Amino acid sequence: MKKLKGGDRRNWIFSYLKEQHAPVTGSELAKLANVSRQVIVNDVTLLKAANTPIMSTSQGYIVLPDKENTPYVQRKVACNHQSSHTEDELLALVDAGVTVENVTIEHPVYGEITSSIMVSNRHDVEMFLKKVRDTDAPFLLELTSGIHLHLLSASTEEILTRGISAIREKGYLMEE
């Protein structure tokens, strides 16, 4: 690809990401655009500042779906389990057809900390967990003795209910 200048490159990044059906890493974009990864990181930051619907996930960059034109329901759920159950929790949700958008904890010093997960299938879960293992990063729930929130989404209420029931049956859902 011919090396593009600032605005043209940012337009290309957004257009390219919209065409993809999976996250694209900054390194992949850099290689395609013939620039450094840091240039891509800066471009994505500028795109986000301009309210372009791009999200950074643990697997790479994605363009957020157009929620106005897509059937879409969301719910926040409270969970409690040890980090050793994270894979089982995530697989139960994605196997039901649910997307786990993020995780939130209430930290005693920093307050609410939210991090994107954006896993929708077994491959996404595998890549997310591989990144955690490769970086030796702790799960956020380790900072709160297992208590955390997830923002879940699905195309229908029935699918969302099925996913929540799956983690309820496993004992991961916190309920009154």
CATH 2.30.40.10 fits 6-63, yes or no: no
SS3 assignment, position 14: helix
Q: What percent of the chain has pLDDT over 90?
A: 59
pTM above 0.75, yes or no: no
Q: pLDDT per residue over 32-85, tens digit each?
A: 999 999 999 899 888 888 888 888 877 788 887 765 555 579 999 999 999 999
What are 26's two structure tokens?
């900054």
Whole-number pLDDT of residue 134: 93
100-113 pLDDT, tens per residue?
999 999 988 989 99
* Residue-level pLDDT at 66: 67
Higher pLDDT, 2 or 170: 170
Task: Provide the CATH number for the domain formed by 73-169 in this structure.
Answer: 3.30.1340.20
C-alpha to C-alpha distance for 65 and 37, rounded to whole angstroms: 25
Query: In terms of pLDDT, which residue wins out, 14 or 2?
Result: 14
**pLDDT at site 60:** 86
The boundaries of every CATH 1.10.10.10 domain in the chain are: 6-63
pLDDT at 32: 92
Which residue intervals of the chain bear CATH 3.30.1340.20? 73-169
Contacts of 68 (CB under 8 A, 6+ apart): none
Sign of CA dihedral 97, 69, 63, 142: negative
